[in-house]
Each structure stands twice: as structure tokens, then as C-alpha cells.
Amino acid sequence: MEGLRRLEYRGYDSAGVALVNGGVRRVRKLGKVAELQSALDADPCAGNAGVAHTRWATHGAPDEANAHPHISGRIVIVHNGIIENYEALKKTQTERGFDFTSETDTEVIAHQIMWHLSRGGDLLRAVSLALKDLKGTYALGVIDVEQPGHIVLVRNGSPLVIGAGADGGHYAASDVHALLQVTTDFIVLENGDIARIGRDGVRIFNGELEDGELRPVERAPVATPLSPHAIELGEFDHFMQKEIHDQPCAVTDTLEGRLLDDTVPDGILGPGAAALLDAVKAVQIVACGTSYHAGLVARHWFEEFAGVPCRVEIASEFRYRRQVILPGTLFVAISQSGETADTLAALALAKKCDYLPSVAICNVPESSLVRESDRVLMTHAGPEIGVASTKAFTTQLVTLLLLAMLLGKRAGMEPAVRAGLVAQLRNLPSRLEQALALEPRIRELAQQYADKNHVLFLGRGRHYPVAMEGALKMKEISYIHAEAYAAGELKHGPLALVDRGMPVVSVAPNDHLLAKLKSNLQEVRARGGVLHVFADSGAGFRSEGDSVVVIELNAPENAVAPIVFTLPLQILAYHTALLKGTDIDQPRNLAKSVTVE
């Protein structure tokens, strides 16, 4: 149950557990792990082998019948991922006489394994035969009720780790956080692996049957530096709030060892990075959601400081498009979790194309993205539990700026410019502390949002993606419809939305676009829109009663300003959601790691 609670942020539509003890006892509940816990408190169960699951619904509504574990005859199963050919399998299985009790794609896996098991052999063999029939991505935990001493595990595109507990038990989970209370040493399964854990230890096999036999493979254990306390709330009410406040430290940790005097050493990208960096003539960034917004900010840095053309694309679009690749293009994949299915698929596609070796920007060292990329720039944000990404975003921006500086060095960046950027980065944690100190004023401002249905976010240049990120945070946790526009684009359509009382949030750094931005904001004022401007203290904005509210920030250093301006928008979304009483850390319909397409 502790493991389930720690994994809950990844999916929270329903939760369930099945324990084998003579027969099998299964308890499933709609909603959060707490609901399951209450049911178990009222009617406890015990056993020596079990599987449990928190669900983010893909096939079938979030209800009890669709909750995992699923059962077919002697087989008890939990599954993450998607089975793409489930309709065809379901048809065959129905003809074979199998009954379906759910609308999930998971149930066909259980039936398929049961079908093979009923034809002879042990569970491991039945699972490996069933895998040949499945198309899609999955991580599985499977028990045969008649061989209860073992659990068979499969990894194919969805993450799975095994931990040996100090209590002599063996455990598996879809991320290390779930098992930190029993171990910090893990075996990370690779795609195609089948493993069996039990009282007698762990055995791992290559999934392919050769002459009817599975071939054993070795997977060395790795120690994680994470502590079970790394994911405790401390003095905060929500993980999102804690993670917003973690940002000065997270940025300090991400910069640690990466600034040398007034330069960024090539070595931060690993041994021999200089040759790769020398070859870069263009950059292609691929990511999803908040990580995509980080890429959009970075595009400005790559083009301004390094003079290399940079394209940024959402991974789910990129992966289905014909690639036209400029010679010498560096492929950069950004992902907090390193498990986002679309980003991983984009990376897999890029590896088959004519890109330079790939670079991952990621927060989870054990993740698939880190393992599958050629080079890695880790963000050291610490575990991010709130579904709304905060400190992951700002630390992604820091690493992307470092990468832009490495490329800038090749493009003849003036030493004074480089030293200036290094100084801005060193100063950044204290700028972020100052931004956090605005929380009481922003909390007050949030009161004007709680009864609104729509909000516009405006920015220009590299602050346009900051506005996009502010709008994403607002809609994700407060459920208020929020859209971001490049301020200059307003008059081409969205201005029609603005009427009396419509809140329009703007990010206003003191940069070369300030005068243009001010004109755009006048267009909003003239239509009765209410302006809430987060402005650099040197930008010359003045509050006018309730219709123009200016909150000043100290963000004079231009390059890092997008990082500083992000914080008040995160805080605004947080306090709006708090007033609305939404589930801030686990907003409806979402999950932290999107491991399905």
C-alpha cells in the first residue's frame, strides 16, 4: 500500500490489489488509493505474493470493473501501457469461450496468458508465448494462482524496476519511488526482458524463446541516491507548492559543477563532447507539454547566442512526419520523467535518421530516455510529484541555456557576453527567491480568478512560451480555460474575446519588445479587459485601481528573465486552484508520466 501511495501521482482513476493465499483475494476501488485503503482497513487481507495498481484510464471508463488487477482463470495481472491489437485478440478469445468482465485492453493479456498456460508448461513459458501475440507497449506483473511463489514481470516500452528488499522480499514497480521504503538498489529491466521474482531471488531472461527455452541475461543492479524522504511534503500543503519553493535550490543543484570561472566546460555533456558540439549546425528539439515550452524558450537562446537554426516540435506530431534534416542537426529530447511515450518514440525515430548523436534533457537518471539517448544533460530538480510541472521546467531551462552557451562558444560568442551569462546564472537562485517573496500579493490577486471561466496570457519573444506555460498551469490545475498568445497576434482574432472584466495576464520584461508590448496591452485596456502585468521593475508600468494591476519583479538580467517570470505564473495558478478547491497535485483526467501514446 505504501508503494501504491507513492505511485499514485502517475494515475489515480482507480486502485486495486490482489493477494494470493490459497486462493486469490482481489479488492478494487474507484478513485484514490485512500479508498482502497479504507476498504482493506475494514476487511484486511494477507498473502505472500500480490500485485497492485493505480490506473489512468485508456480503454474503458474509470470504474471498478475496469480497475486492475484483472483475472482470467488462474491468472492475475496488472498492466501499464496499451495493447493495440486488443480488438482482434478479443474476437479470437470470445470464439474460444473467454468471458469479458471489463472494457480494458488488459483483459486480453490475461486471457492470452491463460490460453497458453492451459496448453501446458509453466507461467514463464505461457507469458513468453502470449507476448508474441501482443502488439503495443506494456509493463506487466503476472501471477499464476497455482504457482503462488513467483511473480512474472515483463517490460516492453513501459518502465519497470525490480528491488530486493532488506526484509528478504522481492518487489517490482514502475518507478523507483514506489520501492524506496524497502530498498535503494534496483535492477532496471530493459525492453524485451522477462523476469521472475520469488522467494528464491530474481531471474531475468531475454523474452525470445530459443529452441523452446528462454535465455538468461544479466542486468547489474544500480543504486539510487534518492532517499524515501525526498518525496515528503514537509511544511507545505501540496507538492506543487513545495516544488515551486524548491526552485532556487533545484537551480543551484542543476548548476553545480557546470560553471567554471566564467565559462561552461564542454565536459558537462560527457567525455569527447567537444567533437560533437563542433559538428552542430542546427538543433531539433522534441518534447511534450511543459517540456515543449522549455524547448520553445531555448530556441531563442540557440538562435541568439549560437546563431544555429533551431526547430522545436511536439513529439506526438514529430513522430508521424517525414523528416527533412539539415546536415549537422543535433537532436535534443526534453522530458522530466524520461518515460513519455511520444518523446521516446520520437527519439527512436531520430536514431534511425541522419541526426548527430542525440542529447536528452531529463530529471530521472533511471529513465528510458536517459538510457536510450547518446548523451545526457540531467536536471537535478529532485523528484517532482505534483502533476503540474514546475521545478522540472525551470531546471530544463537552465540546462538548455548551458547547452546554448556551449554552442555559442563555437559561434564566437564574446567572452564578455559569456561571462555576463554565467553571472546571470549564478545570480538566478537569489532572483528566484525574490520572485517567491511575491506570493502574498499573488495570492490576493488570485481572488479575482476564482469565478472566471476564461483568461488570456500574453507575452512576446522568449516570454511568449512563458505565457504558454502560465496558461497551461492555469488550465491544468484550476480548470479555468486559459489561452496564451504572442501579444502581437492579439489583433488578428483573439482580441474579439476581450470584453469588460476579462482577465489578461501579461509578462513584461524590460527588453527590446517592451514598447511593442505596451501598445498591445493598450488594445486590451481600450476594450475593457482587466490587465494583470508581471513586469520588470525597470519596465515603467503603473497600477490603475483594479483595472491594471502591476506586480513588479526584479528580473533585469535579460537571458534568464524567462526563468524568473515563470514563478509568479506558477504561483498564480496554484492560488487560483486553491481557492477553487481543485485537486492540485492530482488534477482530474491527468497523470504525471504519460507512458501511453
Residues that bind ligand AGP (CB under 6 A): 288-291, 335-337, 340, 343, 387-389, 472, 476, 593-594
**Cα gap 534→553, rounded to integer Å:** 7
**Cα gap 87→91, rounded to integer Å:** 6
User: DSSP code of 260?
Assistant: B
Handedness of CA 420, 436, 295, 518 (dihedral sign): negative
Closest to ligand AGP by CB, 112 or 254: 254
Smallest gap, in angstroms, from Cβ of residue 320 to ligand AGP? 18
Closest to ligand AGP by CB, 93 or 396: 396
Closest to ligand AGP by CB, 183 or 343: 343
Task: With CA atoms as reference, report the closest residue to 376 among 358, 392, 360.
Answer: 360
Closest to ligand AGP by CB, 276 or 287: 287
Task: With CA atoms as reference, report the closest residue to 452 among 490, 485, 479.
Answer: 479
User: Are the beta carbons of 176 and 164 closer than 8 angstroms?
Assistant: no
Smallest gap, in angstroms, from Cβ of residue 56 to ligand AGP? 12
Handedness of CA 312, 470, 573, 399 (dihedral sign): positive
3-state secondary structure 341-386: HHHHHHHHHHHHCCCCCCEEEECCCCCHHHHHCCEEEECCCCCCCC
Closest to ligand AGP by CB, 93 or 316: 316
Helix (H) or strand (E) segment spanning residue 193: strand 193-198
Smallest gap, in angstroms, from Cβ of residue 364 to ligand AGP? 8
- Give the CB-nearest residue to ligand AGP: 289
Helix (H) or strand (E) segment spanning residue 561: helix 561-580
Smallest gap, in angstroms, from Cβ of residue 478 to ligand AGP? 12
User: Are the beta carbons of 345 and 335 closer than 8 angstroms?
Assistant: no
Smallest gap, in angstroms, from Cβ of residue 565 to ligand AGP? 17
Smallest gap, in angstroms, from Cβ of residue 472 to ligand AGP? 6
Closest to ligand AGP by CB, 497 or 590: 590
**Cα gap 482→490, rounded to integer Å:** 14
Smallest gap, in angstroms, from Cβ of residue 340 to ligand AGP? 3
Where do we find the cell 501499464?
80
Smallest gap, in angstroms, from Cβ of residue 314 to ligand AGP? 10
Residue type, 551: I
**Cα gap 506→523, rounded to integer Å:** 13
Closest to ligand AGP by CB, 334 or 535: 334
Closest to ligand AGP by CB, 224 or 593: 593
Closest to ligand AGP by CB, 183 or 593: 593
The three-class DSSP label of residue 509 is: coil
Where do we find the cell 491544468?
476
**Cα gap 341→38, rounded to integer Å:** 33
Smallest gap, in angstroms, from Cβ of residue 501 to ligand AGP? 27
User: Are the beta carbons of 289 and 296 closer than 8 angstroms?
Assistant: no
Closest to ligand AGP by CB, 14 or 566: 566
The residue count of the chain comes to 597
Smallest gap, in angstroms, from Cβ of residue 292 to ligand AGP? 7
Task: With CA atoms as reference, report the closest residue to 229 among 297, 180, 174, 167.
Answer: 180
Smallest gap, in angstroms, from Cβ of residue 372 to ligand AGP? 14
Closest to ligand AGP by CB, 13 or 536: 13
Go through 463-476 and write b for each residue having 16 or more CB atoms within 10 A of its CB, e for each that does not: bbbbbbbbbbbbbb
